[in-house]
Amino acid sequence: MRKIFLFIASLSAFILLVSAGFNDQSKKINTKEALGKKLFSEKILSLDSTVSCASCHIPSYAFADTVAFSIGINGIPTKRNTPSVLNMKNRPYFFWDGRASSLEEQSLMPIKNPDEMGLPIEEAIKRLNKNPIYRQLFKKIFNQPVTEKNLAAAFAAFEKTLETVDSKFDDWSNNIKNLNASEERGRLLFIGSKAKCFDCHFMEDFTNDDFKNIGLFNGEDLNDSGRILISREKTDLGKFKTPGLRNVAVTAPYMHNGMFATLEDVVEYYNEPSRFVSNAENTDKALLKPLGLTAREKKDLVAFLKTLTDKKFYRKKM
C-alpha cells in the first residue's frame, strides 16, 4: 500500500515537473517570431507527425538540406533541391519558379504539399487549436484561436529574423578586415566582365531577384522547365530564380536539381556549360561562350564564395 502511494506521489510530482517545464518554455514565447520558430520545428504539422520545416531546412546547414532531394512524409523525394530560407526578408518571390510572392503565402504551401508535409491546412489548424500549449500561445500573442492567417504570420515573422550579415565579406565591406589575396582576386573576378557572376548575383544578398536560364534545361535528362510553368511565357523556358549566395559554402548540393556537389563543380560548370549539358535550350546569352578561367581563377572564385559564410556556420573543416 505504502509503495503504491509512494509510486503515485512520485509519478504526480514528475508530471507536475514536466508540465511546469512546458509552461516555463511557453512563457518565454511572447512574440510572433518566437512562436514561428517553435512552429518551424513542429512535426504535428505533417500528416503522420514525422516531418517539420526544419527536417528539410536544417538550421545548422544554413536552413538548407544536405541532399539533392529531401524526403517528405511518404518517403518520396521532393521534385527540387531544398533552398536555404536565410535572407528571405527582401525577396519578392519564393520557390525556384517564384510561385509564391510573400512569405505568408509561401509558408502554408509545404504543409499541404503531399511530397512534403501532406496535411490539409484545415486539419493543421484543428490540431493546433486542440493542443493546449498552442491554444494558449496563439491566444497570448494574437488574442485569437489559431487561424490560417495568424499561422502564416508567425512563420513569416520568424523567417524575417533569419538575416545573416556577419561574414568575412561583411567585415571587408565594413572596412574591418581585408580579404586574403586569393579571396580578393576572386572578388574582382566575381564582379568583373570575365566571369560575369555579378550580372545576376548582385545587391546585398547576391541575387538580382529575377529568373534566369543558366543552361540547365534540355528537355531530355534535364526537363524541369522552371518559371514557364507559372508565367506561361515562352521566354521563361528553363528559367529559375537566381538564388542569393550568402552561406552558399554550407548549402551543397547546388542548383534547382542539386546536380553539383561542390562549389568547385559549380565554377567548372559556369566556365564551360556545354561540357556538362548538351542541347541546352534558351540559355542566357551571358553564358553562351566558355569563360576561359584559369585553374587559379577558378580557385579564387571559390575562395571568394566562401567569404560569404556567416560566422555562426563556421565549421572546423571549412
The contact set with ligand HEC (CB under 6 A) reads 51, 53, 55-57, 70, 72, 78, 80, 82-83, 85, 88, 94-96, 106-107, 110-111, 116-117, 155, 195-197, 199-201, 212, 214, 216, 240, 242-243, 245, 248, 251, 254-256, 263, 266-267, 270, 284, 286-287, 301
The values of phi and psi at residue 4, to 5°, are -60, -40
Q: What angle do CA 51, 53, 55 make, to 5 degrees?
A: 55
CB 318, min distance to ligand HEC, A: 15
Smallest distance from ligand HEC to CB 242, Å:
4
Residue that is written with C-alpha cell 535528362 in the block: 221
Q: Is 308 exposed, middle or buried (0-12, 13-18, 19+ CB in 10 A)?
A: buried
The residue count for the chain: 318
Nearer to ligand HEC, 8 or 248 (CB): 248
> CB of residue 89 vs ligand HEC: minimum separation in angstroms?
11
- C-beta of 147 vs 175, nearer to ligand HEC: 147
Comparing CB distances to ligand HEC, the nearer of 55 and 309 is: 55
Query: Looking at beta carbons only, is 27 or 289 nearer to ligand HEC?
Result: 289
Residue closer to ligand HEC by CB (options 141, 280) is 280
Q: Measured from the CB of residue 274, what is the shortest distance to ligand HEC in angstroms?
A: 15
Show Cβ contacts of residue 167 under 8 Å, excluding neighbours closer than 6 positions.
246, 247, 307, 308, 309, 310, 311
Q: What angle do CA 77, 81, 85 make, to 5 degrees?
A: 120
Distances (CA, A) of 5 to 2, 12, 13: 5, 11, 12
Q: Which is nearer to ligand HEC, 106 or 307 (CB)?
A: 106
CB of 184 to ligand HEC, least distance (A): 15
Beta carbon of residue 136, minimum distance to ligand HEC (angstroms, whole number): 21
Shortest distance, position 27 Cβ to ligand HEC, whole Å: 24
Contacts of 289 (CB under 8 A, 6+ apart): none
Q: Which is nearer to ligand HEC, 19 or 60 (CB)?
A: 60
Of 8 and 237, which has the nearer Cβ to ligand HEC? 237
Minimum Å gap between C-beta 59 and ligand HEC is 12
